[in-house]
């Protein structure tokens, strides 16, 4: 990247960011009756200012260097932004850190799925129930070893092809294997709770048990997220899962259950759901509630 482009975009981005942030904070302070701005207000000012700085730097960069591919301008502004946020002024180092972080997110997510599979199968060992990975279900369906009815099989196939659920619950009955549960396992769900809720609700409409196991439940400090799980509000009248099992130190709340490595409550609810699925599946809709 030409140094002139990098210098122009960096200076423009930083100057715009500082001037906008100063202006926004000044406006906030004028509207305050007393006291000083809290962290949330300052963070809000930063978000607005940096978005404006990115937009301005890209537009002005393209105008000034109209013979340069816009991706060059975009990268120059990207480097300016990440350098300001990270205090690291080396693109190579920033790229390595981002690559490592992306690798961690992908690998740790898959590892957490394996953790839940192993722990779940261990605690459910004598029940005839197994927790299996998505790829396991895909293979079992392909081999004709899942004996759900054809409509179920087709629906499950669409879920595995779209990578919707991370794990599935299966039960052996009369020497035949049936899939009755769809499970999401998330190290953190805060940024994806809306996206993850929709397929869960779909699974419950199809009369499958739907559960989610979450490592970090910090997001549940927000009442909106609680209502997304439990329902019962104007915005979220219906519950999003049959049960959410959280490793964080939280209090039980409706369908939200604190759990630990023993997964005892999860296992008990999995057994109850399997029994309901086999004996009265039509009642395993979204309103079904496991006995505490």
In-domain check, residue 288 = no
Name the domain count of the chain: 2
In-domain check, residue 206 = yes
DSSP state of 190: G
Choosing from 89, 124, 148, the residue where a domain stops is: 89
Are 146 and 231 in the same domain? yes
Pairing state between β 129-133 and 167-173: antiparallel
Average pLDDT over residues 74-85: 88
In-domain check, residue 97 = no
Are 222 and 166 in the same domain? yes
**pLDDT tens column, 240-268:** 999 999 998 888 999 999 999 899 999 99
Q: Is the pLDDT of residue 33 over 70?
A: no
Range of the domain at 75: 3-89
Are 153 and 252 in the same domain? yes
In-domain check, residue 115 = yes
Are 113 and 233 in the same domain? yes
Contact present, 181 and 208 (Cβ < 8 Å): yes
Are 238 and 163 in the same domain? yes
In-domain check, residue 100 = no
The number of residues making up the chain comes to 292
Choosing from 89, 116, 136, the residue where a domain stops is: 89
- State percent of the chain over pLDDT 90: 64
Are 35 and 153 in the same domain? no
Choosing from 89, 124, 153, the residue where a domain stops is: 89
CA–CA separation, 83 vs 284, rounded Å?
52
Are 71 and 114 in the same domain? no
Average pLDDT over residues 26-52: 83
Are 85 and 110 in the same domain? no
**pLDDT tens column, 155-212:** 999 999 999 999 999 999 999 999 999 999 988 776 677 789 999 999 999 999 999 9
**pLDDT tens column, 137-156:** 999 999 999 999 999 999 99
CA–CA separation, 259 vs 250, rounded Å?
9
**pLDDT tens column, 40-58:** 888 889 899 999 999 999 9
In-domain check, residue 245 = yes
pLDDT of residue 207: 98
pLDDT of residue 92: 81
pLDDT of residue 69: 82
In-domain check, residue 50 = yes
Are 160 and 232 in the same domain? yes
In-domain check, residue 155 = yes
Are 115 and 252 in the same domain? yes
167 phi and psi, to 5 degrees? -140, 160
Are 239 and 115 in the same domain? yes
């Amino acid at each position: 990247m030409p140094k002139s482009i990098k210098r122009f975009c960096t200076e423009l981005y930083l100057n715009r960011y500082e001037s906008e942030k100063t202006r926004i904070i000044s406006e906030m302070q004028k509207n305050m009756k007393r006291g000083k701005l809290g962290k949330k207000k300052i963070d809000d000012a930063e978000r607005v200012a940096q978005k404006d700085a990115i937009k301005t730097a890209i537009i002005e960069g393209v105008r000034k260097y109209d013979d340069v591919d816009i991706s060059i301008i975009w990268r120059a502004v990207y480097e300016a932004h990440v350098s300001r946020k990270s205090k690291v002024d080396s693109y190579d180092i920033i790229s390595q850190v981002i690559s490592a972080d992306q690798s961690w997110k992908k690998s740790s997510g898959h590892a957490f799925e394996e953790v839940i599979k192993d722990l779940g199968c261990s605690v459910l060992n004598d029940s005839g129930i197994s927790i299996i990975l998505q790829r396991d279900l895909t293979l079992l369906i392909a081999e004709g070893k899942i004996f759900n009815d054809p409509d179920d099989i087709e629906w499950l196939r669409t879920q595995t092809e779209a990578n919707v659920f991370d794990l599935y619950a299966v039960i052996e009955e009369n020497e035949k294997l049936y899939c009755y549960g769809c499970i999401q396992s998330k190290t953190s769900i805060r940024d994806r709770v809306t996206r993850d809720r929709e397929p869960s609700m779909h699974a419950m409409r199809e009369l499958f048990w739907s559960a989610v196991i979450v490592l970090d439940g910090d997001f549940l400090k927000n009442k909106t997220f609680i209502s997304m799980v439990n329902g019962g509000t104007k915005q979220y009248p219906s519950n999003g899962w049959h049960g959410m099992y959280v490793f964080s130190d939280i209090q039980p709340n409706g369908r939200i259950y604190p759990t630990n490595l023993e997964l005892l409550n999860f296992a008990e609810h999995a057994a109850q759901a399997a029994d309901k699925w086999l004996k009265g599946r039509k009642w395993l809709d979204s309103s079904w509630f496991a006995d505490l």
